[in-house]
Amino acid sequence: MLPGEVLGLVGESGSGKSVTLRSLLRLHRAPIRVSGEVTYRGQNQGSQNLLTLPEGRLRAVRGGQISMIFQEPMSALNPVLTVGEQITENLYEHRGLTGRAAHTRAAELLDLTGIPSPAARLSDYPHQFSGGMRQRAMIAIALASEPKLLLADEPTTALDVTIQDQILRLLLRLRSELGMSVILVTHDLGVVAQTCDRVAVMYGGRLMETAGVTELFGSPRHAYTHGLLGSLPGVGARRVPLRPIPGGPPDLRSLPQGCTFAPRCRLVTDACISAEPPLLSIAPGHDSACIHHDRLPSLSGSVAGAGMTR
């Protein structure tokens, strides 16, 4: 990822989005096994593979250089510690701040996220915050270490539309002010269109397509992405029936042979089933794991523009 870039990670429930974010920081414990390589160019440390990094060095990266906003703030926040204690813990661990300095900085972080009377709210417990305020408190904890990369796992889940918009605007503003990159997991393609620079589409535990937002919305090059965007309601006065993707997502414990999307794909052929298509570059900045990528038509303006209000 480039500095300051926002990458949207989308896909149906169960496609592996949250698991992927947790894997980046090795938050999974045995018997779960994570393989592969996660290359991270740390501050003054050069490139390093996070999956093989010793635990001591990983702790300096996890929460310090890479922070995460978890999906459910009520379960992610510790109910027996005040919000202030949870922020200052991060400040002590990754910034070495204690006492009055840590308290002052914690209040500044709450103020930065838009919580009124921040100094007074530091002594409150998570259950005394509303849903939107708990989400803001999670953001404050994540930003305490001034990370270079923020992993946001559906940061607007279960929030009303007004609060969702405030949270997303806050993340974009902080991205600009702090110069950090963001990986945003969401189900809302309209949010992706308005906030992200690039998109990665997941299905069945693997990447299906990656591209710039405008290119992917206007000319998707994977059958799953095409179906996902085609199922969105269009804009304009003309009403047309929705085109849902038939069937349901696969069981990750028993994936189908070949392309995992083949059982639901209208373009499926024997070649799709015989082997799993690799993720290949089909154009500059555009990768696809669909062998029929050149057969997919561009989406009409009414569908492609459903969420494009950037």
- Give the DSSP letter string of 235-279: -SS------PPSS-PPPTTSPPSSSTTGGG-TT--HHHHHSPPP-
Q: What is the pLDDT of residue 231?
A: 82
Tens-digit pLDDT profile for residues 192-230: 998 999 999 999 999 999 999 999 998 999 999 999 988
Which helix (H) or strand (E) element contains residue 203? strand 198-203
Residue written as tokens 């304009």? 236
Q: How many residues does the chain have?
A: 310
Contact 69, 150 (CB under 8 A): yes
Q: From its phi and psi, is residue 212 left (phi > 0), alpha (psi between -120 and 50) or beta?
A: beta
Q: What is the pLDDT of residue 42?
A: 65
Q: What is the pLDDT of residue 67?
A: 93
Q: Give mean pLDDT, residues 270-288.
A: 94
Q: What is the pLDDT of residue 158?
A: 66
- What whole-number percentage of the chain has pLDDT above 70? 93
Radius of gyration for the alpha carbons in the chain, expressed in angstroms and rounded: 21
Tens-digit pLDDT profile for residues 220-229: 999 999 999 8
Mean pLDDT (the chain) is 88
Contact 42, 51 (CB under 8 A): no
Q: Identify which has the larger pLDDT, 42 or 190.
A: 190
What kind of fold does domain 15-170 have according to CATH? Answer: Rossmann fold (3.40.50)
With CA atoms as reference, report the closest residue to 308 among 193, 226, 211.
Answer: 193
Q: What share of the chain is helix, strand, coil (3-state, %, to 5)?
A: 40, 15, 45
With CA atoms as reference, report the closest residue to 62 among 142, 157, 182.
Answer: 142
Q: Give mean pLDDT, residues 93-108.
A: 94
Dmax over CA atoms of the chain, in Å, equals: 67
Distance CA 155, CA 171 (A): 10
Distance CA 220, CA 217 (A): 6
Q: How many CB atoms lie within 10 A of CB 3?
A: 9
Beta pairing partners, 40: 48
Give residue 234's pLDDT band: very low, low, confident or very high (50, 70, 90).
Answer: low
Q: Give mean pLDDT, residues 242-260.
A: 89
Q: Where are the domains of the chain?
A: 15-170, 209-304
Q: What is the pLDDT of residue 156?
A: 79
Q: Give mean pLDDT, residues 83-109.
A: 94
Q: Identify which has the larger pLDDT, 35 or 79.
A: 79
Tens-digit pLDDT profile for residues 138-187: 989 998 988 999 999 988 776 778 878 888 888 888 888 888 999 999 98
Distance CA 133, CA 23 (A): 27
Total-model pTM: 0.88
